[in-house]
């Protein structure tokens, strides 16, 4: 028998709407040390993970989100050698980072190993063996501690975090103090990439995070993509660096795209340009 899963309220979200998804099977529903984890088969999105009542990933369109989070900054950078993924327990960011030919090591720091184990078992299409790749390094600890104690630097740092739910484990990872620590372990020409929520439902969150990154970095730019799993709305991504973030021309973009294994399913040059454009009504709310 089918039922409906109604997503919990998003942080800083507008009132008056809830998102419900038709569930055809409940595969997992338990509390880990850190969060309430649920895996569903759904009629629309296929297999899906929710953490603390908020949808995190689905097999149907994970490629959109993860190409924006990992492939896009890799193309912008050129030939990154190493990448740090903070969060990303489902393994999708890790998988797509390994598509970058120049990457020698992809390090993932995730607080909850249960998430990775769960996704490897129930959502294997998201990671597709990335957890066992020889270029992958998996570290299960509090990212706050890792960032403040590591002596390494990284060409790209991806903040693939759950929403900043009050008193949740990700809340302090959105704060300026943590971002300043992230900046200290970024290579001089490095890029930070982070998700910043739904532009339609969470414009206050998007605006606040973009303003913060513009204060902390010399360059910060908002990119967007429609990721259906995330409330069927335009979703925000912030790219930041202390080097100028030039807009690549088509020749340069496609030259750098040759560093990416396999064909992107979402990101090409036209979508790269489109991701930097906003309609006036969203500009008025966010910029």
The predicted pLDDT at position 170 comes to: 65
CATH code for position 45 = 2.30.140.10
Same domain, 83 and 215: yes
Mean pLDDT, residues 264-270 taken together: 98
Same domain? For 117 and 233 the reply is yes
Pair (19, 153) in one structural domain: no
pLDDT tens digits, 82-127: 999 999 999 999 999 999 999 999 999 999 899 999 999 999 999 9
Angle at 265 between CA 261 and CA 267, to 5 degrees: 85
Whether residue 182 sits in one domain with residue 80: yes
Is the distance from CB of 42 to CB of 21 less than 8 angstroms?
yes
Given a cut of 90, whether residue 173 has pLDDT beyond it is: no
* pLDDT band at 22; cut points 50, 70, 90: very high
Of the three residues 58, 74, 103, the one that is the final residue of a domain is: 58
What is the Cα–Cα distance from 71 to 278, expressed in whole angstroms?
Answer: 21
Beta strands 36-42 and 20-31 are antiparallel
State whether 20 and 162 are in the same domain: no
pLDDT exceeds 80 at position 162: no
pLDDT at residue 150 tops 70: yes
Could you tell me which residues come within 8 angstroms of residue 158 by beta carbon, excluding any fewer than 6 positions away?
Answer: 69, 70, 73, 83, 84, 85, 86, 88, 93, 97, 192, 193, 194
Structural domain boundaries, residue 34: 3-58
Per-residue pLDDT for 272 more than 80? yes
Cα end-to-end span (Å), the chain: 45
Catalytic residue IDs? 160
State whether 54 and 66 are in the same domain. Answer: no
**Mean of the per-residue pLDDT values of the chain:** 95
The pLDDT value recorded for residue 41 is: 97
Q: Are residues 52 and 71 in the same domain?
A: no
CA distance 257 to 116: 29
Mean pLDDT of 66-79: 98
Mean pLDDT of all residues in 232-249 = 97
Domain finish residue from 12, 32, 58 = 58
pLDDT the model gives residue 169: 67
Q: In what order do the strands lie in the sheet with 20-31?
A: 3-6, 20-31, 36-42, 46-51, 54-58
Residue 172, judged by CB atoms within 10 A of its CB (0-12, 13-18, 19+), counts as middle
C-alpha neighbours within 13 Å on the C-beta side of residue 160:
31
**Are residues 279 and 250 both part of a single domain?**
yes
The count of structural domains within the chain is: 2
The CATH number covering residue 119 comes to 3.40.50.150
């Amino acid at each position: 028998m089918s039922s409906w899963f109604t997503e919990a309220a998003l942080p800083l979200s507008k009132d008056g709407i809830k998102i419900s998804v038709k569930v055809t099977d409940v595969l997992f529903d338990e509390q880990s040390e850190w969060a309430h984890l649920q895996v569903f088969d759904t009629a629309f999105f296929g297999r899906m993970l929710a953490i603390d009542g908020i949808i995190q990933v689905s097999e149907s369109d994970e490629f959109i989100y993860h190409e924006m989070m990992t492939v896009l900054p890799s193309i912008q950078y050129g030939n990154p050698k190493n990448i740090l993924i903070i969060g990303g327990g489902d393994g999708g960011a890790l998988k797509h980072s390994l598509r970058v030919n120049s990457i020698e090591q992809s390090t993932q720091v995730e607080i909850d190993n249960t998430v990775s184990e769960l996704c490897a078992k129930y959502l294997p299409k998201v990671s597709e063996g990335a957890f066992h790749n020889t270029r992958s390094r998996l570290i299960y600890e509090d990212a706050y501690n890792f960032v403040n104690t590591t002596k390494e630097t990284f060409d790209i740092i991806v903040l693939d975090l759950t929403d900043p739910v009050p008193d949740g484990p990700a809340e302090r990872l959105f704060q300026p103090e943590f971002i300043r620590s992230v900046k200290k372990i970024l290579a001089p020409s490095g890029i930070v990439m982070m998700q910043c929520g739904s532009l339609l439902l969470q414009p206050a969150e998007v605006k606040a995070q973009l303003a913060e990154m513009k204060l902390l970095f010399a360059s910060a730019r908002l990119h967007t993509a429609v990721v259906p799993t995330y409330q069927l709305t335009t979703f925000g991504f912030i790219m930041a660096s202390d080097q100028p973030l030039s807009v690549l021309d088509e020749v340069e973009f496609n030259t750098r795209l040759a560093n990416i294994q396999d064909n992107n399913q979402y990101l090409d040059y036209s979508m790269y340009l489109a991701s930097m454009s906003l309609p006036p009504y969203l500009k008025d709310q966010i910029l």
